[in-house]
Structure 1
Amino acid sequence: MELLLLGIYAFFVWLLCVKLKWIPWNIVTQVIAVIIPVVALTVLILTLNVIAPASADVRVIKYTIPIVSQVRGRVIEVPIEEGNRPVKKGDVLFRVDPKPYQLEVNTLTAQLANAQAGQRETEESLKAARGKVSETQALGAQASGRLRDVSASLELARKRVAQYRELVQTGAGSKFDLEKAETDLRSQEAKYDEAKAQQSQASASEVQAVASVQQVQQKLGAKVDGEYAQVAQIRAQLENAKWLLEQTVTRSPCDCTVVNLQLRAGGFVAGFPINPVVTLVEDSGQMVALFDQNELHKVASGNEIELALETIPGKVIKGKVDSIIWTQGQGQLQANGSIPNTGALPQVPGRYAVKFHISDRDKELFIAGGAAGHAAIYTDHLHEIQILRKVFIRLQSYLFYLVLKL
């Protein structure tokens, strides 16, 4: 572009001084004619580098996604094709034989049903055991009441025997009445022993019933989210088995392009994370341009940007500045215990990356990963002379048509 401006300037100097001779062509005008473009171009270039910085290092970065099977087994279908073929998010990449995983699901489903039936049976046993506890408690209460009644009758019989003995000793009582009272006393003592034995039996039955309840509760075990532990464990195993069954079908996680497809039907996948079988490249990616450190003090998010890529000659792509990545490798010290080496010569300052977004009108363009080119950022200052930078970037885009090699 500088040569173009110099050519235009030289044309007007020749026209005015040589052709039309409106200005005398002598030593003074010759010196002035040389100084003017040098000073003007210097001021222009320095100003443009601040208000419309340019970079010859544009990089298109696209992330790759290595696809690893979550399950091991024999591959039965690979419906995608290699050769940079596009796939949509959710498209099937390959299928693994699902039979072993379906059998595991069926087995665990049966185990879960059996465990749930066993849980219901045990819960019914718990209800019966608790009913038995209530029954034994009622029998115990009944036995205790009878024991109290017999104890009262026994105490009365003892008092009567004592009274009749005292009357017989004084000669005022009948010996027959004494013998009858003693017989009643022995009858009441037998009834007391029987009532006490019943009370002990009821207490033992209650203890046994309570132990039975505790045994059933222990068999049921603790609960997990309102479900007994054994059933919850089998349900968790079943959910995991269902998830593994779903993973026998591997789908694309994004709108991507297939590269490095080495998998074929009949192959075996082992499910190792270090063994990708397909590599996908995202259709969308990031675009960055690298600038010298003193070029970015006027740049802000939202500034207009124009790109010229070598893969799309003659096309100027528009976008907006997203952000400046204000860090780079020279600002990092590795935590290795060594003292940083300053070196014999000063280190060349590293550049900073500017990240930007493509405008809606150019989003449908195919932009290859790794594509390089030139970029220009137009700040909010001196828009009048930024037109020169726009001319530069358009000329550069057309120069990409030239393939300069033998």
Structure 2
Amino acid sequence: MGIAIFNTYLVLLFVLVHFGIVRFNLFWKASPAIVLVLLMFGLLVPMGWGAPQGDALVVRNAVSIVPDVAGEVTDVPVVANAPLKAGDVLFKIDPTPYAAQVKAIDAQFKLARTRLGQMTQLYERDAGRGFDVEQRQSEVDQLSGQLESAQWNLDKTVVRAPSDGYVTNLALLKGARVANLPLSPVMAFIDTSVTIIGVQINQIDARFIAPGQEVEATFKFAPGQIYPGRVESVLQAIAPGQTRTSGTAVMPSAIEAAPFVVRVRLDDADFTRRLPAGSAGTAAIYTEHLKPTHIVRRVILRQLAILNYVNPF
């Protein structure tokens, strides 16, 4: 936009000089440099403070699906990238050994309860010892816990979707054997219940940004379109400012002014849900400062939206 304004001035100056409307004296010869300085420090730099612009990215939470029990996969009813609801079955594990374990513990539990009842009756008739009653009660309690754990394992042979979303890059097949190892996920589940849109803003331009301010965004996924929204929050930490507990002294590193991330929410909820994770674009935030610069920023953003038809980068 700055280049367009400057070139427009040069063309206008050429026309005025060519038709003799102004004399091409020292002032008019120096005027392009003067206009360039005024344009830079009177419009472009203040526009970065009052209406900062940055790259936008659509992010969704991903869950690595790791089964709680090991076994052979007997069924994989899901289809990759098909919408799922929370609780839908992702895959099933052969329940036979877990069902047998439940049956065996349940039989012991029933026998222990019967013995506890017998010992209690004998104790109430002064024909038994209180210690025997306590011992049988302890056995019943232990078997009750084991039965609950075994039933939990049996229930976990059916792996369900943790939330609304979809499975991507599905490679799990019937007959495969899975294990409950944290470093061995069997599928990736993309959570669509929450869509995160982050905008990177240079640190020198982020001073006036606050929640609730107006936002406009355009995406490569939807060229030529402008979508309004609002600022949700400014993330209060980025990786360079994070420290971790260690047994070593501070390791100095090159300090760079990495961009801050601003989380925004679009007004069009349906469009937000349709945005694929990883969609890239550009967003502008309109603060309460230097409002005259907002007009230029809106024009620039609409130019970028139109260029999205042909610019793949």
The TM tier, using the shorter chain, reads 0.7 to 0.9
Q: Is residue 2:251 matched to residue 1:340?
A: yes
CA drift at 1:292: 2.2
CA drift at 1:251: 0.6
**What SS does the corresponding residue of 1:85 show, helix, strand or coil?**
coil
User: How far apart, in 1, do the equivalents of 2:310 and 2:238 lie?
Assistant: 34
Kindly provide the amino acid, as one letter, of the partner of residue 50 in structure 1.
Answer: W
Q: Paired residue for 1:219, among 106, 128, 132?
A: 132
Give the structure 2 partner of residue 314 of structure 1.
Answer: 224
What is the total number of aligned residue pairs between the two structures? 310
Give the structure 2 partner of residue 5 of structure 1.
Answer: 5
Kindly provide the amino acid, as one letter, of the partner of residue 3 in structure 1.
Answer: I
CA drift at 1:35: 4.4
Moved more, 245-254 or 23-32: 23-32
- Alignment deviations for residues 151-196 of structure 1 (CA, whole Å, 9 cap, x no partner): xxxxxxxxxxxxxxxxxxxxxxxxxxxxxxxxxxxxxxxxxxxxxx
Q: Is residue 2:222 matched to residue 1:300?
A: no
Give the structure 2 partner of residue 115 of structure 1.
Answer: 112
Structure 1 pair 128–336 and aligned structure 2 pair: CA distance change class (3 A): closer
Please say if residues 300 and 323 of structure 1, whose CA atoms lie closer than 8 Å, have aligned partners that are also in contact.
yes
CA drift at 1:218: 0.9
Alignment of 1:38-117 (within 5 A): 38-42=36-40, 43-55=42-54, 57-82=55-80, 84-117=81-114
User: How far apart, in 2, do the equivalents of 1:221 and 1:108 lie?
Assistant: 20
Give the structure 1 partner of residue 35 of structure 2.
Answer: 37
**What SS does the corresponding residue of 1:355 show, helix, strand or coil?**
strand
Q: Paired residue for 2:180, among 260, 266, 271?
A: 271
Structure 1 pair 32–365 and aligned structure 2 pair: CA distance change class (3 A): farther
Structure richer in helix, relative to its length? 1
**What SS does the corresponding residue of 1:389 show, helix, strand or coil?**
helix
CA drift at 1:127: 0.7
Alignment of 1:208-247 (within 5 A): 216-221=129-134, 228-247=137-156
CA drift at 1:12: 4.7
Structure richer in strand, relative to its length? 2
Give the structure 2 partner of residue 367 of structure 1.
Answer: 275
Please say if residues 13 and 33 of structure 1, whose CA atoms lie closer than 8 Å, have aligned partners that are also in contact.
no
Q: Paired residue for 1:385, among 281, 284, 293?
A: 293
User: How far apart, in 1, do the equivalents of 2:62 and 2:47 lie?
Assistant: 37
- Alignment deviations for residues 86-120 of structure 1 (CA, whole Å, 9 cap, x no partner): 32221111111222222222222222222222111
Structure 1 pair 340–72 and aligned structure 2 pair: CA distance change class (3 A): closer
Structure 1 pair 220–245 and aligned structure 2 pair: CA distance change class (3 A): same
Please say if residues 317 and 362 of structure 1, whose CA atoms lie closer than 8 Å, have aligned partners that are also in contact.
no
The list of structure 1 runs, each at least 4 consecutive aligned residues, that deviate by more than 6 angstroms after superposition, is: none
State the identity %: 29
- Alignment deviations for residues 303-336 of structure 1 (CA, whole Å, 9 cap, x no partner): 1222222233222233222222233333345534
Please say if residues 80 and 92 of structure 1, whose CA atoms lie closer than 8 Å, have aligned partners that are also in contact.
yes
User: How far apart, in 2, do the equivalents of 1:32 and 1:336 lie?
Assistant: 62
CA drift at 1:302: 1.3
- TM-score, normalization by structure 2: 0.87
CA drift at 1:78: 0.5
- Alignment deviations for residues 12-54 of structure 1 (CA, whole Å, 9 cap, x no partner): 54565656x6x42422563364245313321111111111111
User: How far apart, in 2, do the equivalents of 1:237 and 1:340 lie?
Assistant: 50
**What SS does the corresponding residue of 1:338 show, helix, strand or coil?**
coil
- In structure 1, stretches of 5+ residues that fail to align are 130-211
- In structure 2, stretches of 5+ residues that fail to align are none
Please say if residues 217 and 227 of structure 2, whose CA atoms lie closer than 8 Å, have aligned partners that are also in contact.
yes
- TM-score, normalization by structure 1: 0.69
User: How far apart, in 1, do the equivalents of 2:295 and 2:95 lie?
Assistant: 63
